[in-house]
Structure 1
Amino acid sequence: MNGELLRLVDAIHRDKNIDRDILLEGIEQALASAARKVYGSEEITVTIDRETGDISALDGDTPIDPVSLGRIAAQTAKQVMIQKIREAERDVIFEEYQDRKGQLVTGTVQRFEGGSLIVNLGKTEGILPRGEQIPGEVYQPGDRIRVLVLDVRKVGPRVKIILSRTHPDLIRRLFELEVPEVSEKIIEIKDLSREAGQRTKIAVSSIDSKVDCVGACVGVRGSRIKNIVDELNGEKIDIVRWNESPEVLIMAALKPAEISSIDLDPENMRARVIVPEDQLSLAIGKKGQNVRLASKLSSWELDIVSEAEA
């Protein structure tokens, strides 16, 4: 039993990446607990020799017969191994995905539970709740899906990994993936506003005057931005050049609309934006989307009025 116990512990340590001492300490604790029930004593302690695997037990200062202890050990060790493997696997998965919060992962749609998608991530599963799914996207079991790790929690013996397709950071990670200058921090994403599945506005700047931040994000013949839009199933993305001047940034954020003038109220962070009559609906956008996203991007509350109204 003793040599076999150590070989089993070492095998689990290698295969499951579970610390050897955690397994042995768990077996010691479980053996002591089982022996206390058998012998009716709370003074029992159990020790496993880390080199030989020999098991010894004391009831206070009195040694316990190894033969009877061996019977208890045989019954207990397997149960402890299973429990510790589950706990350690949970901890390994938790730590791995805790480190990946805010990062992209790729998985396979496994099944549906209510309105949520269960995504196979390889070693474990993640949950894409209905509220984190892009409206209009449809998936079938077996489909590949790229998602953002939104949150990681321990729930009893399991790890609950919450995924998202709607979070703004999904856009950031996709740009880091497709645009080397972003991942290398030559180009910085200063801010972005998003209405998932419909439209995103993203403001970028470059620390290198030789690098055109907007052009680099778009790519040759639009190749880079096309890959991102395809990943988002057609979500529109407006890339604007960041500027410290609120007027310049607001004008860029409201594109494709042309702006006549802007009156700022810095105290209330409001801006009155005057546009030609034929640009009014373009500036406001469908159901107010353009002005809403531009307002979030610039951090100014925008009031759009026509030249006639001004």
Structure 2
Amino acid sequence: MSAEESPVRRRRGPSMADVARLAGVSGQTVSRVANDRHNVDAVTRDRVRAAMRELGYRPNSAARALRNGQFRSIGAIVFELSSFGTTRTLDAVAAAATISGYAINLLPVLDVNQRAVTNAFSQLGEQAVDGVIILIEAHTLDEAGVRLPEGLPVVVVDSSAHYDYPIVDTNQAQGARQATEHLLGLGHKTVWHLGGPPTSFAADRRRRSWERTLTERGCEVPPVLDGDWSAGSGYEAGRQLAANPDVTAVFVANDQMALGLLRALHEQGRVVPDDISVVGFDDMEEAAHFWPPLTTVRQNFADVGRLSVDALIREIQAGEHHHDPVAVPTKLVVRSSTAPPRRSAR
């Protein structure tokens, strides 16, 4: 079968020369329009764009990127992609990048160490990104002794790292204080805490703020129970807390663990909120449909994503460096899982 007869033979797409002939201009003029140069009059620009549409011509974005020095692409290095906070933050980053005209190249790392992070940056460099957003908690970066490469715009999300890069994060301390003060304000003498993994920066910030709030109010600081962010770990901790008659209020470091805690309390006959009040953290969509509906601290993931992308684009386009951390405010959402303690409670 000849090449002309082959069913898989592909036709050549329209070229810049084809556009120039149809529009009656030079190839250089077409190039200027394709690259959004300003030295083309409006009438000629409209005629060239009309010819592009008629022919179905699309400028070679890779070649244009090489000429302009920008690829309109952002890399995202992510650890623990399955966690709720990471997925919601990444979704917000992708949405903000799309609105700003940037594509996202996602690169998960399975283990956080200097070699893995360096390799991730190298891979993203081969994919020609303009900058990188890192969604890896600072404790992990710091403990691994990770040094970030120079010469590429970087923004770190959800991090306490002291790198010379912009940092954007939810105000973890504010959220934990809101949760603890809400329970104390209802009349509970103290608040127990089911925390996240000790290696997590977010969990550590929430834990420290909870403890500080109790201390400032002159309240006893109970021992912390550590979970791993999962509903299963919340359930196991809930079984311990349900057996302790002194427990009347619990601040849980995320909603998924709060879900497991609620199940354990129900199985042990501890009524929420009559016997024990529960506050979560995140305000995941399902929290309003827990039983009872969960009082929780809402993180504004959309703002975290938008501010992270905005900071990175400033670095890319203007070389602006704003190294003061940006703390996105939280909001307490009060539902039915909290109430004043019973008079008979200690």
Larger % of strand: which?
1
**Rg larger in structure:** 1
